[in-house]
Structure 1
Amino acid sequence: MKALTEKEFDEEINKDKLVVVDFWAEWCMPCRMLTPVLEKLEKEYDSVEFAKLNTDEYPNVAMRFGIFSIPTVMMFYKGEMINSFVGAMPESVVRREVEKALEKIQA
């Protein structure tokens, strides 16, 4: 997963494909539990880009999206947030959320 900086963030989420962004922090144990799930899905979905943003390093981005709990995963398409969830979820739930987002952009 690509680690985003604040400068790269807007460019990344404005792509013409689904971009899944994991808002996380080093000290967050649920974040560490979610990372392997996202890394596995990244290998399965060629058409989806997976990225992460450290909320401790870039708090302005987290504040901009009203993120108070981590991990928060937001899914963007052409700059618009189209799906999100909060917390470390099992692979089946994360997969379902990615599929929902893909359905929205294909509709």
Structure 2
Amino acid sequence: MQEIGSFEQWLDISANEQRLLLFVKTDHCSVCEGLYPQVAELMEEYPFPFYKVNAAQVPEMAGQLSLFTAPVVLLFYKGKETARFARFVQMDQLTHRMNELVEWGEDHV
């Protein structure tokens, strides 16, 4: 998973990637540490990039994306958020929404 180091980097990525997953974590978060490997394992199954950001290191991300907890998994399509999973993420729901993202054609949204 590629790490985002600044809000400006995020703006560039979100403007240029058609589909993406963003994993948001913070410092000293045991739930984040437990969820990360499960989400990272999905990278091999999906044809879009996965990114991660530590909201404690890039606080602008938390403010601009209205993030109030961690971990948060966000799915984006054409620069727009299409799904948000926060704190205790049910993997079956996440994969369902990721499958929808794969199926969407160029005419969607």
Q: Is the deviation greater in 70-79 or in 49-58?
A: 70-79
**Matching residue's letter, 1:17:** Q
Q: Which runs of 5+ in 2 are unaligned?
A: none
Query: Does residue 34 in structure 1 map to residue 35 in structure 2?
Result: yes
TM-score, length of structure 1 as denominator length: 0.85
Say whether the 8 Å CA contact 2:70–2:86 is kept in structure 1: yes
1:50 alignment counterpart? 50
1:86 alignment counterpart? 86
Instruction: Render the CA deviation track for 1:10-54: whole Å, top value 9, x for unaligned.
Output: 111123431100111131111111111111110111x21100111
**Residues 83 and 90 of structure 1: is their aligned pair in 2 closer, same or farther, counting only changes over 3 Å?**
closer
SS at match of 2:23: strand
Q: Which runs of 5+ in 1 are unaligned?
A: none
| Identical amino acids, percent of aligned pairs | 21
**Residues 34 and 78 of structure 1: is their aligned pair in 2 closer, same or farther, counting only changes over 3 Å?**
same
Once residues 78 and 10 of structure 1 are traced to their aligned partners in structure 2, the CA distance between those partners, rounded to angstroms, is 12
Once residues 51 and 29 of structure 1 are traced to their aligned partners in structure 2, the CA distance between those partners, rounded to angstroms, is 19
SS at match of 1:31: helix
2:75 alignment counterpart? 75
1:63 alignment counterpart? 63
TM-score, length of structure 2 as denominator length: 0.84
User: CA offset at residue 90 of structure 1?
Assistant: 4.0
**Matching residue's letter, 1:89:** V
